Amino acid sequence: MSIGTQDFKVPAGKTIRLKDYDSNWLPKWAKQEKYKKTLKQQAIDLLEENRQKLVSEQELLWASDSYAMLIILQGMDAAGKDSTIRHVMSGVNPQGCRVTSFKTPSTEELKHDFLWRHIKALPERGSIGIFNRSYYEDVLIVKVRPEVFAKQKLPPIQDETLFWEQRYEDITLLERHLVRGGTLVLKFYLHISKKEQKKRLLKRLEDPDKAWKFSITDLEERSKWSEYEKAYEEMLNKTSTKWAPWYVIPADRKWVAHALIAEVIASEIEKLDLTYPVLNKTQKEELTKAKAELEKD
């Protein structure tokens, strides 16, 4: 299965429209009748292939101790962020991977700037950090819901347009700082249709094992679908940069989303061209002595 992931990258400095991205996307060749039955299996095979690559690259990431990787997942409710983490990252060593889910800010967090709690959770060198939602919520829900924005208790705002422009700038500058310091920043927007979201929310309600995941706030957020789409669109256009681009991932089919995200992660981490540390002469001599000691024991 061949996937050109560059087609899903939001070009820096250009304006995109979400309606131009098909949430139910399939490669053109896959629409041929002879491929329809095998397509899903090919996607699963590609996912597994890239998971194995990621396992190998994670060990190199840890051994080289020079880079870190930050994966950001954003999307509407039920877009598949949790399942993406389970399926794409299932093979990595948990000791070198940390998932952080950002919920409603605490009283302490609200007393700091909006980036504070996220900076504390950034991955250290040699490790992978996954943000299930992130500081981007501060240009999404905070922008769409005035009552959430009011809780941040900021000084009076004279120019609202300028305020949001500066917040986008703060985010892009943080990411440029991270990239310059050796953090690979990969950002994925899981693009789900309103129709597919309805289907998944109903499935939660009908399945006793998934009902706990449903919240009445899911319906409240769904009622503001168009406002959120506008906020996401502006976020993508304002914060997709050369150093930290966004990928708009078609998410109506979870197996397509998983395969695409795994492909991007595997290919981007391979570009770092990581290698195991090379031992110097003194280190080699110490290992030789250690081996001799063990053999005498």
Closest CA relative to residue 251, chosen from 173, 207, 189: 189
Residue 124 has pLDDT above 90, yes or no: yes
Residues 266, 2, 86: CA angle, nearest 5 degrees: 45
Query: Which pLDDT score, from 0 to 100, does residue 2 have?
Result: 55
Query: Which pLDDT score, from 0 to 100, does residue 33 have?
Result: 60
Residue 145 has pLDDT above 90, yes or no: yes
Which residues is 250 bridged to in the sheet? Answer: 191
Spatial contact of 49 and 159, defined as CB atoms under 8 Å apart: no
Amino acid at residue number 179: V
- Out of 24-33, 166-175, 187-196, 244-253, pick the least confident: 24-33
Tokens of 273: 């061209």
